[in-house]
Amino acid sequence: MAMKNSTISALIVILALFSSSHVSYGELRLGFYSKTCPNVEQIVSQVVKDAFSKNSTLAPLMLRLYFHDCFSNGCDASLLLDGSASEKTAPPNLSVDGYALIDTVKTAVEKNCTGVVSCSDIIALATRDLVTLASGGKTRYEIPTGRFDGKVSSAATVKLPGPKMSVSDTIKMFEDRNLNVTDMVLLLGGHTIGVAHCSFILDRLYNFKNTGKPDPSMNTTLVEELKKQCPKDSVEQVINLDQDASSSNIVDASFYKQIRSRRGILHIDQLLATDPLTSDVVMNLANGNDFLARFGQAMVKLGSVGVLDKVTGEIRTSCRSCKNPLCT
């Protein structure tokens, strides 16, 4: 039986609407909880603000947690699950923290609206608020919600880029998650705050590629400064990722200016400034072209990677354990 033309056009419109919203943000939308938990964003902001005022290192911790969670198997809070072989036990997560803040926020949210808000949305909202706080209030992005929590977490499936990878291999990993090269350069701007352990750069300071010399791409003034902070046998010592001392803890574009002065810390950070695949974007951002707003948009895009829905995911009661008994 033939369908009426009007029915067919209506179907086409519905399909077009569905696929366009699907392509951009999975099932996410702004104000997903406007009926079921209208105060969720205020509750998250309040708890986060109080915590940040006591300890501002929560900003880099949470930013990195968001990146690791979203990059490995999607933004599904699987990184939060405890367990002897869950994602958080994988070596790249060893220094990720911020779990305690998520627990505090989750408890506050559950008190107000029980069993409604996912841990993955709490991570996304808390990270957004911490970016705002760490920018000194200079930026704030709206972040769509509607993520559901994963029912699987396995250290074996953690896939993250390493700091010694090439720019082109790193681009490939981002592209596999629908993040393009511009998004990648913007997101690595996350290294405008926080620290790295000296162990990641001892080779750059003392024995680059077994030459017995420092990495020639590192500013020689910086090499001397860092040698003092990172002696050859450093284990616990950390150094700022943004070597502009006046803004090491501030979310701003200084990271790009630093890497253009050969003052990048991680090898991949430094490569961004010189590799022809990324150097133009770096120059553009270093010259003050709207980093804060564009960073927010890239964070939103990162927040849409591998999002689960209510069939594939669940709403946890505690962020550290699944409700689903089959969860591994």
Ligand X SMILES: *[C@@H]1O[C@H](CO)[C@@H](O)[C@H](O)[C@H]1NC(C)=O
Name the binding residues for Ca(2+). 69, 74, 76, 78, 87, 192, 244, 252
Cα–Cα distance, 166 to 276 (Å, whole number): 12
Bridge partners of residue 149, in order along the sequence: 314
Q: If binding is defined by CB under 6 A, does position 64 make contact with ligand HEM?
A: yes
Q: If binding is defined by CB under 6 A, does position 95 make contact with ligand HEM?
A: yes
Residues 6+ apart with CB under 8 A from 51: 58, 101, 104
**Which range binds ligand HEM by CB under 6 A, 42-50, 59-67, 77-85, 273-281?**
59-67
Contact with ligand HEM (CB under 6 A) among 188, 218, 222, 239: 188
Q: If binding is defined by CB under 6 A, does position 63 make contact with ligand HEM?
A: yes
Question: Smallest distance, Å, CB 261 to ligand X?
Answer: 4
Q: Strand, helix or coil at 183?
A: helix
Q: From residue 141, how far is each of 80, 127, 320 by CA, in Å?
A: 24, 11, 27
**Which range binds ligand X by CB under 6 A, 10-18, 71-79, 122-130, 256-264?**
256-264
Residue in 321, 291, 284, 264 with CA at minimum distance from that of residue 77: 321
**Which range binds ligand HEM by CB under 6 A, 139-147, 155-163, 209-217, 285-293?**
155-163
Q: Which residues make up each annotated binding site? A: 69, 74, 76, 78, 87, 161, 191-192, 244, 252
**Which range binds ligand HEM by CB under 6 A, 20-28, 73-81, 104-112, 160-168?**
160-168
Q: If binding is defined by CB under 6 A, does position 180 make contact with ligand X?
A: yes
Please answer whether residues 60 and 239 qualify as being in contact, where contact means their C-beta atoms are separated by less than 8 angstroms: no
Contact with ligand X (CB under 6 A) among 106, 191, 262, 267: 262
112 binds, among ligand X, ligand HEM, none (CB under 5 to 8 A by kind): ligand X
Q: If binding is defined by CB under 6 A, does position 113 make contact with ligand X?
A: yes
Exposure string over 68-97, b if 16+ CB within 10 A, otherwise e? bbbbbbbbbbbbbbebeebbbbbebbeebb
Question: Smallest distance, Å, CB 20 to ligand HEM?
Answer: 26
- DSSP symbols for 41-105: HHHHHHHHHHHHHH-TTHHHHHHHHHHHHHHTTSSSSGGG--STTSGGGSGGGTT---HHHHHHH
Please answer whether residues 183 and 302 qualify as being in contact, where contact means their C-beta atoms are separated by less than 8 angstroms: yes
Contact with ligand HEM (CB under 6 A) among 51, 80, 193, 223: 193
Q: Binding mask 243-282 vs ligand HEM (x if CB under 6 A, - otherwise)?
A: -----------------------x-x--------------
User: Sign of torsion, CA 157 125 285 136?
Assistant: negative
- Catalytic site residue 22? no
Please answer whether residues 208 and 214 qualify as being in contact, where contact means their C-beta atoms are separated by less than 8 angstroms: yes
As annotated, the active-site residues are 68
